[in-house]
Amino acid sequence: MIVPQENCIKPETVLSKGMFHSLFSKNLVLVPQLNEVYELALAYYESKILTEAELVQNGAYFARVGNQFTDHYLMCTGESVRLPRHSSSRLKSFFIKNQFRTGYASHGLFPYRGKFHPQMIKALINVMGLKQGDTVLDPMMGSGTVPVEASLMGIKSIGLDASPFCSFMTQVKFNALTLPIQPLDQALKKTEKIFEYFTHVTGRFDSCGKIAKASNPGAKIVIHESTTTPDPSHTDQLADLIGTDKSEVLDFLLLAYLDSVGYSERSKRKSPFIQFQAILERYVFVVKKIQHVLENSKSDIAASKILTGDARSMELDDQSMDGIIFSPPYSFAINYLENDAFHLNFMGVNIDQLKETMVGLRGKTIKEKYKLYIEDMDRVLSECVRVLKPACFCTIIIGTNNNQLSKALGVPKEQVRGLHKIIIDLALSHGFSHIRTLSRQISGIANTMRNEYIVILKRQHD
């Protein structure tokens, strides 16, 4: 039907009112750098679901509510992550561009592939209706974005990953929120000795910056989960250097070292020692910045249980979780074991054995891999429905590589349904209902994967 001219709203009326005032109440001001549609959608849902006081304390996409700055704004603002002088301008502009998305708290420690934007996780925790006292689970936590972010919001969490390196890394990032500063300052004065120490116990760099075999393969310090204790014969030396034997501090230094090992493999611009020095300096800056922010925050850091385990059979009670957020491997896109081989070897992990647990890595041909991936995801979803309380939400973030899927399914690319749709069907068969899907663009690997999807599901009542 053609609308009569006199009923049309005049352009100046629409333009002068602006879009934001139609979506949000007048006293809400969005954070800088909000420029994607899914972010605007999450901001909108937050503004409808949270009270103003909750928006100030836990909102992800608002800088101000009335005259009051939000905690998220205060946490992210200020000097962005301190990068070494030799960093490329591309890297520097990446950190500045993502200051409100990823560059806050301890999230920037260790560049794990496939890591969530913590700001997005904060918003999802909010729109899933999770409140202080609730527990959120990430059964495939990777570098621990969900546990760390939940703790900062005062929400308890359980993080699980098949890779012991992920549990180690997450524990370090969680501990960083409360780490004593003095030994870290001490460590910055002894970087050369600390570097020598780690090189000795983990292996050494050859002249091209590659990892050579450990000079003393028997000498490995134990990377310990919270339940085990460090091997005193090896850690004493390090403890003497920094004046404490607190395992949290030693692990923190070790993660910085392992980070520099990976960095040196990727970039030959600087010597491994220079990399280590710069990375440790950045790590210590991160700890000081977040602790300074937390001193003025009203919320306490909530407890998090960080575990190594298999999402296909979790040692968690039935109906014990108030929410689940996770991102599975996107079929067989990233080989996490290859990426972390050095760290896992150093931890004494049997990589071949671990491969059998890892979703997306089992199988030889692409068809077999896909079949096993779907079988594994079926088990993961059945576990999610078992541990989740009725009427609670489970959010899955997943991308699709249609080229790969077309080969796996033996159908033309145009006919591929998308992995997120396949996962939604599986979830429905386990008693979830589908509430909403948001799509977000992936930058960087756009030639193989253009979008990922935020799929929000709800567990039906019994």
Task: Give the residues lining the site for ligand SAM (CB under 6 A).
Answer: 112, 114-116, 139-143, 145, 160-163, 166, 310-312, 327-329, 336, 357-359
Any residues with CB less than 8 A from the CB of 414 and at least 6 apart, and which? none
Closest separation in Å from C-beta 115 to ligand SAM:
4
CB nearer to ligand SAM: pick between 195 and 373 = 373
Place of tokens 């000079």: 215
By beta-carbon proximity to ligand SAM, the closer residue of 56 and 141 is 141
Q: Which H or E element spans position 68?
A: strand 68-69
User: Pairing between strand 135-138 and 321-326?
Assistant: parallel
Q: Alpha-carbon distance 301 to 304, whole Å?
A: 9
Smallest distance from the beta carbon of 399 to ligand SAM, in angstroms?
Answer: 9
**Helix 164-175 / helix 145-152 crossing angle, nearest 10 deg:** 20
Nearer to ligand SAM, 289 or 312 (CB): 312
Nearest to 79 by CA among 240, 273, 290, 267: 290
Find out whether 443 and 435 touch, Cβ atoms under 8 Å.
Answer: no
Smallest gap from residue 272 Cβ to ligand SAM (A): 25
Structure tokens at 157: 């969490």
CB of 213 to ligand SAM, least distance (A): 25
- Using the minimum distance from each CB to ligand SAM, give the nearer residue, 357 or 406: 357
Q: What is the DSSP letter of 446?
A: T
Q: Which helix (H) or strand (E) holds 419?
A: helix 419-429
For ligand SAM, the closer of residues 184 and 381 by Cβ is 381
State the angle between helix axes of 247-266 and 272-295 in degrees (0 to 180), rounded to the nearest 10: 130
**Shortest CB 8 distance to ligand SAM, Å:** 47
CA-closest candidate to residue 265, choices 321, 326, 182, 338: 338
Q: For residue 393, is it left (φ>0), alpha (ψ between -120 and 50) or beta? A: beta
- H helix runs in 203-242, sequence order: 232-242
Min. distance of Cβ 154 from ligand SAM in angstroms? 20
d(CA 205, CA 366): 35
Least Å from the CB of residue 105 to ligand SAM = 13
Quote the tokens at residue 102: 């990823």
Q: Residue 339 Cβ, how far from ligand SAM at the closest point, in Å?
A: 10
Residue 243 has a CB neighbour count (10 Å cut-off) of: 13
Q: Is the dihedral of CA 312, 316, 319, 322 positive or negative?
A: negative
Q: Which two tokens stand for residue 88?
A: 């490329």
Which is nearer to ligand SAM, 46 or 376 (by Cβ)? 376
CB 455 within 8 A of CB 397: yes
Residue 140 to residue 170: CA distance in whole angstroms: 12
Q: Which is nearer to ligand SAM, 98 or 327 (CB)?
A: 327
Nearest one of 109, 117, 148 to 259, comparing CA atoms = 109
> Minimal distance in Å, beta carbon 17 to ligand SAM?
39
Q: Whose Cβ is closer to ligand SAM: residue 163's or residue 277's?
A: 163
Residue number with CB closer to ligand SAM (43 or 384): 384
Task: Name the residue nearer to ligand SAM (CB basis): 30 or 166.
Answer: 166
Q: How far is the CB of 263 from ligand SAM (least distance, A)?
A: 18
Residue number of the CB closest to ligand SAM reads 142
Nearer to ligand SAM, 199 or 331 (CB): 331
58 Cα distance to chain centroid: 18
- Closest approach of Cβ 329 to ligand SAM, in Å? 5
Rounded to an integer, what distance in angstroms lies between the CA atom of residue 261 and that of residue 280? 12
